[in-house]
Structure 1
Amino acid sequence: MKRILLVATVATFTMGFAQADGAADYAGGGCASCHGAIGVSAIPTYPNLAGQNAAYTVKQLKDFQTGARKDPTMNAMAAIIAGKEQSIADFLAAQK
């Protein structure tokens, strides 16, 4: 029983670090300035991202990076967070 508890504790602890990295990547990438601190925008022009499917978010960010999806602001912003798409997407997916 103790081994199972230890594994669950380590997994929870590790996921906490991953969540913190995603939050830092999200804030550091400038995303929060338009989409809100946890992905809920106070400005109707900018979409809410909280709770969005992580795979969808990663795809959209990569499409902005490659130019497959076009928006002057997002094409530039997506380039800034290159390599951090998954951690940001995971962070946003966990928000409500």
Structure 2
Amino acid sequence: MKRILLVATVATFTMGFAQANGASDYASGGCASCHGATGVSVFPTYPNLAGQNAAYTVKQLKDFQSGVRQDPTMNAIAPIVAGHEQAIADYLSQQ
């Protein structure tokens, strides 16, 4: 019984930490300016990112970083979050 409780507590703490990092990476990367604080855009020209599949979001960010996918704004912004794509994608997928 004690082992199960410890595992559940560690898992809960770890998930909360990942969400906090993803949220702060998302906000500090400038993503929220266009895509909204929780990935729901207030501007009709910017897509909603909340609920997107995490693997899809990671791929799109990497494609913008490499130039495979072209958009003047995203090609400039995506490199800022390099190395934090997965945390951001995980955060958005849970919104």
Q: CA deviation at 1:5?
A: 1.3
Identify the residue that residue 25 of structure 2 maps to in structure 1.
25
Q: CA deviation at 1:57?
A: 0.1
User: What is the alpha-carbon distance in structure 2 between the residues aligned to residue 28 and residue 3 of structure 1?
Assistant: 37
User: What is the alpha-carbon distance in structure 2 between the residues aligned to residue 5 and residue 44 of structure 1?
Assistant: 45
Identify the residue that residue 4 of structure 1 maps to in structure 2.
4
Aligned to 1:91, the other structure's residue is in SS state helix
Identify the residue that residue 43 of structure 2 maps to in structure 1.
43
**Counterpart amino acid of 1:88?**
I
Identify the residue that residue 87 of structure 2 maps to in structure 1.
87
Structure 1 runs of 4+ off > 4 angstroms?
A: none
**Counterpart amino acid of 2:38?**
I
* Root-mean-square deviation (Å): 0.5
Unmatched runs of 5 consecutive residues or more in structure 2: none
Q: TM-score, normalised by structure 2?
A: 0.98
**Counterpart amino acid of 1:60?**
Q
Unmatched runs of 5 consecutive residues or more in structure 1: none
Q: TM-score, normalised by structure 1?
A: 0.97
Identify the residue that residue 69 of structure 1 maps to in structure 2.
69
**Counterpart amino acid of 1:77?**
I
